[in-house]
Amino acid sequence: MALSVEQVLAIAKATEAYDGVAPLDEATLLTLRNRSEDATIWGDVRGFGLLIGAELSLVVLTQHRGVGLGRQLLLRAPSLPAGTTAWSHGDNPAAAALAARHGWERTRELWVMRRPVAGLPPAPAAPDGIVVRSFEPGDEAELLRVNSTAFAHHPEQGGMTAADLAERMAEPWFDAAGLVTAWEGETLLAFHWTKRHSETDGEVYVVGVDPAAQSRGLGKLVTLLGLNHLASAGVSEIHLYVEGDNTPAVCLYEGLGFTRAAADTHIQYTRR
């Protein structure tokens, strides 16, 4: 009997509890919860394979690892053409070996960087002519415009649609006060969308700056405003995700006190 979405989510939750990292990303979870018909699922109570579009996920419960179940799930997958991607949430040697054995190459590194709230620098004053405020209904079109231009070459973030935005804003964690925006007249120039995972854990969810407004210090401005918002909400640690080869962003975050541990690396593999 095929696994249900509820069983898949339960396996993912149990795996996260042991590994300390979620095996499925946010977009995958949203699809499972809201559009499960878009997902192909196979496996059993020991683990599952999941295909959504061109992204593959393989998840095996801790007690069933080391006996080749991941390989079995991979071989049972539907057709996986060249260009299909899969994430290893953590730089896992077993995942790397499985990928290499079956013709997948390492193509992206997504770093997790963290810093404590203690010692957080204050935000600078906004430049003349720039109005900073929280998100308000009616800002959606400008938010999507800046997002699409700021992330034009980003495989996931740049493709956010109005429906995707509404879906995320309908999540229980969404807080309009935590979506900091910077405007010049009626034009949005930059934003920082924060996310509070728990009472103690906050995230720099998305920072976007209109390419036409770069080099004006707005990225650092909205980043610090968002960090201080999370601090005022009571979190003790803040984390973020950044492409490992995005040197300007990494330098910005390092300058703000964020650091990375080698284990905090997510690896994307692409089928050749």
Q: What angle do CA 56, 195, 19 make, to 5 degrees?
A: 45
Token pair recorded at residue 240: 């973020």
Q: Residue 253 annotated as binding?
A: no
97 sits in which H/E element = helix 93-101
60 among annotated binding-site residues: yes
DSSP 213-227: GTTSSHHHHHHHHHH
- Tell whether 156 is in a known binding site: yes
**Residue 243 in marked binding region:** no
- Find the helix or strand (DSSP H, E) in which 205 lies: strand 201-209
Q: Is 185 annotated as a binding residue?
A: no
User: Is 140 labeled as ligand-binding?
Assistant: no
Please tell me the total number of residues recorded for the chain in this structure: 272
DSSP per-residue codes, 169-196: HTSTT--GGGEEEEEETTEEEEEEEEEE
5 annotated as a binding-site residue: no
Find out whether 72 and 245 touch, Cβ atoms under 8 Å: no
In 20-138, where do the E strands start and end? Answer: 39-44, 47-52, 55-60, 85-88, 104-116, 131-134
Q: Does 209 count as an annotated binding residue?
A: yes
**Is 195 labelled a binding residue?**
yes
Q: Tell me whether residue 208 is annotated as binding.
A: yes
Query: Residues at the annotated binding site for acetyl-CoA?
Result: 58-60, 207-209
Query: Residues at the annotated binding site?
Result: 26, 58-60, 156, 195, 203, 207-209, 241
